[in-house]
Amino acid sequence: MGDSITEEETPFPLTDVDRWVLSQTDDEFRCHTWDELRELIQANHLSALKRKPSDLRRYMKWTADAKARYGSITDYLLAHRLPKAWGQPPFTPASRTPFADPSDYCVLINDWPYGFVPGITHIVAWSRTPIPTDDTVGDLTPESRRLVDDFVRRYFVDRLGPGGEEKVMWFKNWMALQSVRTVDHVHVLVRDVEPEVLQDWVRELECHKAR
């Protein structure tokens, strides 16, 4: 069994799922399969997504260290991961429509993925254009969901050719589940994708470089 964690040791509020994960070892942990992920995403049961116990512990330590050094995770991301051309919040996007202009989004491999079976890659598409959500739990509006779906199709699915829709899924955590709330982002899961395709998706664009 894993060691117990006190509230003072947590850099962010732990969910019941987090606490259950931390009570396990990696050997006891059951990784998410593709079919299970599809069911969770279709049901919008996103709170059930979990990291491996060792990864969650490392993520907690990294979060605490990053906050101590940079003040917030957003400040770390702006310093090291997001485009320099974006500057500091509040951003001034080129388009008010999310994912309409390449300069307004940035696609990166997730540094802290959930616990998946082999073959699944966790990508995050960051947007400096705000993605509208509802006023209840902060979930996507129908129009926002359509815009994100269109983006995922043209950027990821179409790149994979026939059958590509079977290799790509996406979701956006509602407000309570977000570890980074200042910069909107969407999670994209892909399976059995060639490394060169992954590298093409996450390459730095000229419009992302500071001038």
Query: Concatenated DSSP letters for 51-83?
Result: --HHHHHHHHHHHHHHHHHHSSHHHHHHHHTS-
Structure tokens at 167: 């290799």
Predicted TM-score (pTM) of this structure: 0.92
Closest CA to 208 of 29, 65, 81, 42: 81
User: What Å distances lie between residue 165 and 40, 140, 162, CA to CA?
Assistant: 17, 21, 8
Q: Is 127 helix (H, G, I), strand (E, B) or coil?
A: strand
Reported as type and span, the H/E element at residue 21 is helix 16-22
Spans in the chain with pLDDT lower than 50 = 1-4, 6-8
The string of pLDDT tens digits covering residues 174-196 is 765 556 668 999 999 999 999 99
At 103 the pLDDT is 97
